[in-house]
Amino acid sequence: MPGVSVGILEDEIPQARLLAGWLESAGYDVFHSGSGKAFLAEMSEQSPDMLILDWQLPDCEGIDILTELRQSRGFSGPILFATAKNSEEDIIQGLDRGADDYLIKPLRKGELLARLSALWRRTGGDAADRIELGPVSLDMINRQAFVDGEEVKMTPTEFKLAACVFSNAGRLLSREFLLKEVWGVDAELDTRTVDMHMSRVRKLLKIGPNVGYCIKTIYRHGYRLEAL
């Protein structure tokens, strides 16, 4: 994708070269680091649009790099985990800590490029800068939520769920659709995960009569954002 840059954190050199080759053939600008320390140093000099992180590294874990980038350095671009760690707990932890998608090795070129393109559309260059609905405003660039001008602290997953629902006002969204769009995986995750996060979104953004909208639960089907 011309004009879009990707930073790769991968300690296995053959794997890193393979990924870089795939991305460069698709038009991405790429840089690579093989350790967490080197990657963070590189991030101080580079300004990539998107990141691909491995989990198991020689000097740290990718999940700690993810936390550093999201919480301390304020990186707001799409982040994809590409790792051999494949348990449901690992997937949930990665996504809840701020990853936008999760791929399990061995990677496939077509799927990786499709996931990156979808992430860029969903959270990057093709997305609206701001979504507003009544007194609620979502800043898609900085991933900040506001109610009546006051910032509301949300986890990355809560923000993505709110953005997905707000972007599809009036549309019935199944739990399976939300799992794929927000959590970014087709894994058989317990759909109660969606219900729990939706409850948090309602509470944090004060969705209800006071804002003129409700997130209605459609029995056995999913959710729909409706005007009151």
CATH number at 137 reads 1.10.10.10
Same structural domain, 109 and 173: no
How far, in Å, CA of 209 to CA of 125, rounded?
Answer: 33
pLDDT at 114: 85
Which amino acid belongs to residue 193?
Answer: T
- Among the candidates 123, 141, 162, a domain finishes at 123
> Which two tokens mark 157?
């997953």
If you search the block for the tokens 């089907």, which residue do you land on? 221
Same structural domain, 93 and 20: yes
75, 40 contact by CB (below 8 A) = no
160, 167 contact by CB (below 8 A) = no
Q: Which domain holds residue 78?
A: 5-123
Q: Report whether pLDDT(176) > 90.
A: no
Same structural domain, 117 and 163: no
> Which two tokens mark 88?
């449901």
180, 186 contact by CB (below 8 A) = yes
pLDDT at 188: 56
Mean pLDDT in residue range 187-209: 83
pLDDT at 168: 81
Domain of residue 49, CATH code: 3.40.50.2300
- Among the candidates 107, 123, 139, a domain finishes at 123
Which has the minimum average pLDDT: 16-30, 77-91, 93-107, 173-187? 173-187
86, 56 contact by CB (below 8 A) = no
Q: Where are the alpha helices (DSSP H) in the chain?
A: 13-25, 36-45, 62-67, 88-96, 109-123, 156-167, 175-178, 192-204
Q: What angle do CA 202, 154, 170 make, to 5 degrees?
A: 40
- Among the candidates 96, 123, 150, a domain finishes at 123
Same structural domain, 119 and 154: no
Same structural domain, 177 and 88: no
**How many separate domains does the chain show?**
2
Confidence grade of residue 203 (pLDDT, cut at 50, 70, 90): very high
Same structural domain, 184 and 141: yes
Q: Which 3 state secondary structure label does DSSP give 46?
A: coil
Same structural domain, 79 and 26: yes
Same structural domain, 87 and 185: no
DSSP 8-class letter at 9: E
Cα separation of the two ends of the chain: 42
How far, in Å, CA of 200 to CA of 4, rounded?
Answer: 33
pLDDT at 177: 84
Mean pLDDT of the chain: 86
pTM: 0.60
Sign of the torsion formed by the C-alpha atoms of 214, 143, 171 and 180: negative
